[in-house]
Amino acid sequence: MRVIVIGGGAVGLCVAEALSARECEVTVLERERCGTGASAGNAGWITPSLSTPVPGPGVIPISLRWLVNPSGPLWIRPTLSPAMLEWIARFMLSCRRPVYARGLIALQHASAQAIGAFDRLAARGVEFEYHDEPLLYPCFEPSELEHVWHVAEELRQAGSPQRIERLAPDELRALEPGVAPDVLGGVIAYGEARVRPERLTAAVHQALSARGVEVLEGARVTRLGRDGAHWLAAGPGRPTTRGDVVVIASGIASANLLAEHGMRLPIAAAKGYSRTFALDPTGPRRPVYLENPKVSISVYDEGVRVSGTLELGATDLSLSARRLEAITTAARRALPGWRMPARPRDWAGMRSLSPDGLPYIGPVPGLENVHLATAHATLGITLAPVTGELLAGCVLDGARGGLLSAFDPARVLRRSRSG
């Protein structure tokens, strides 16, 4: 069987890897260079404790409050585009507790498999920077402390086996001495890990090339057509690629190729920022999440990355000095002794977000042998190898049900009126 994977981000590469590990003939078509989209400058956390749907009870009032604060962690770009208005309406419906509770269970089941899926990826010869360390949540406001503990309770109720414990201020500062002395306490989440995401994508790319998998960069797909039983992926300046099965893993651009087949995929861009500093002895020793400003601080072998912000409906990758400063200020407030080295590397990327906050993984109804692997929102690194395994089962064994039911694109895919 010959499979065409469109998109060489973390998700597309892990799908290609899982398929090639099962003896499939795979071609990856990437319009730029692999790993340069959302998968490049993110925090790289494999994080069951943050595996919750973006829409949820309380999100609308909080986002309305942040709407008037341009440095806030969540911002919705005002828009009159019918597609975006429809997306927002669906998002609001997904904030209802029963929808959130169902989504939470599915994401918790998926993320409970994440570390095992990374282990299997490594066992298949993919070598990448990997840190296996609990995540600290220091809190500076009573409401913040209450909220992180409330979420920990929700995770338990959703069936999470993860160990999450409360920490007193001195326990927290013993683990991360740089945390500001006015910390009120926090929690520690065990069973978390992190990768340096750009190293992960480079390693999967390298492993694919070593196995003889065709990975074409600068290969934008502009049209998906049919020739009898085969799919043809065409684009400018190169021969058309022919395959039996297509996997669209094009991140935020995933809706485009479906539109010409009359399919409307609800997906929105959720832009985020990161700032990567050189290592400094005054900096953090371990990963830290700041709940109120929603900022991640990720420590790697060769740097520390501060990331955050969710700008819904963003249209370009321009760097906002104000938002980069906001995430830096949040990190400085939590770790006041950190002498942040000058000239950090700034980055912006677009997460792709479905209105219910769950990814689209599985077959596209009405387009035989076309599958989706996208809309992983804040969890595309956490769930990339799991997605690869799920989709390989779906394509090669016809697997359905379980997580594939929760993530089935058929839950939202519609034929557009013109299609």
Ligand X SMILES: Cc1cc2nc3c(=O)[nH]c(=O)nc-3n(C[C@H](O)[C@H](O)[C@H](O)COP(=O)(O)OP(=O)(O)OC[C@H]3O[C@@H](n4cnc5c(N)ncnc54)[C@H](O)[C@@H]3O)c2cc1C
Binding flag, residue 357, ligand X (CB under 6 A): no
With CB under 6 A as the rule, give the number of residues binding ligand X: 40
Question: In sequence order, what are the beta bridge partners of 137?
Answer: 187
Q: Which range of residues in 102-110, 148-156, 166-174, 380-388 is near ligand X by CB under 6 A?
A: 380-388
**Alpha-carbon gap, residue 305 to 297, rounded angstroms:** 6
Least distance to ligand X, CB of residue 215, Å: 11
Q: Which of 42, 320, 328, 369 binds ligand X (CB under 6 A)?
A: 42
The DSSP result for 307-362, as a single string, is EEEEEET-------HHHHHHHHHHHHHHSTT--PPSSPEEEEEEEEE-TTS--EEE
Q: Please give the biggest Cα pair distance in the chain.
A: 68
Least distance to ligand X, CB of residue 182, Å: 27
What 178-181 contacts at long range (C-beta under 8 Å, 24+ apart), as own/partner pairs, is: 178/282, 178/283, 178/284, 178/285, 178/335, 178/336, 178/337, 178/338, 179/136, 179/138, 179/288, 179/334, 179/335, 180/138, 180/140, 180/333, 180/334, 180/335, 180/336
State which residue, 49 or 185, has the beta carbon closest to ligand X: 49
State which residue, 29 or 115, has the beta carbon closest to ligand X: 29
Distance of CA 162 to the CA centre of its chain: 20
Binding flag, residue 44, ligand X (CB under 6 A): yes
Site string for ligand X, 243-262 (x = CB under 6 A): ------xxx-x---------
State which residue, 110 or 158, has the beta carbon closest to ligand X: 110
How many Cβ atoms sit within 10 Å of the Cβ of residue 105? 15
Least distance to ligand X, CB of residue 80, Å: 25
Least distance to ligand X, CB of residue 380, Å: 2
**Alpha-carbon gap, residue 309 to 273, rounded angstroms:** 6
Site string for ligand X, 306-325 (x = CB under 6 A): -x------------------
Sheet of 241-243, strands arranged across = 223-227, 230-234, 241-243
Binding flag, residue 9, ligand X (CB under 6 A): yes
Least distance to ligand X, CB of residue 169, Å: 26
Structure tokens given for 280: 């400094």
Binding flag, residue 106, ligand X (CB under 6 A): no
Site string for ligand X, 185-224 (x = CB under 6 A): -----------------------------------xx---
Q: Is 93 helix (H, G, I), strand (E, B) or coil?
A: helix
Binding flag, residue 388, ligand X (CB under 6 A): no
Site string for ligand X, 335-354 (x = CB under 6 A): --------------x-x---
Q: How far is CA 404 from CA 103, 375, 410, in A?
A: 13, 14, 11
- Residue 247 · residue 395 · CB < 8 Å: yes
Binding flag, residue 10, ligand X (CB under 6 A): yes
**Alpha-carbon gap, residue 283 to 339, rounded angstroms:** 7
Least distance to ligand X, CB of residue 142, Å: 27
Q: Which range of residues in 25-33, 88-96, 102-110, 120-128 is near ligand X by CB under 6 A?
A: 25-33
Q: Which range of residues in 5-13, 139-147, 153-161, 174-182 is near ligand X by CB under 6 A?
A: 5-13
Q: Which residues contact 163 (CB under 8 A, 6 or more apart)?
A: 189, 190, 191
Q: How far is CA 46 from CA 31, 123, 191, 238, in A?
A: 26, 17, 9, 37
State which residue, 63 or 382, has the beta carbon closest to ligand X: 382
CA-based radius of gyration for the chain? 21
Q: Which range of residues in 10-18, 139-147, 172-180, 395-403 is near ligand X by CB under 6 A?
A: 10-18
Q: Which of 272, 283, 284, 293 binds ligand X (CB under 6 A)?
A: 272
Residues near ligand X, by CB under 6 A: 6-12, 29-32, 36-39, 42-45, 47, 220-221, 249-251, 253, 272-274, 296, 307, 349, 351, 374, 376, 378-382
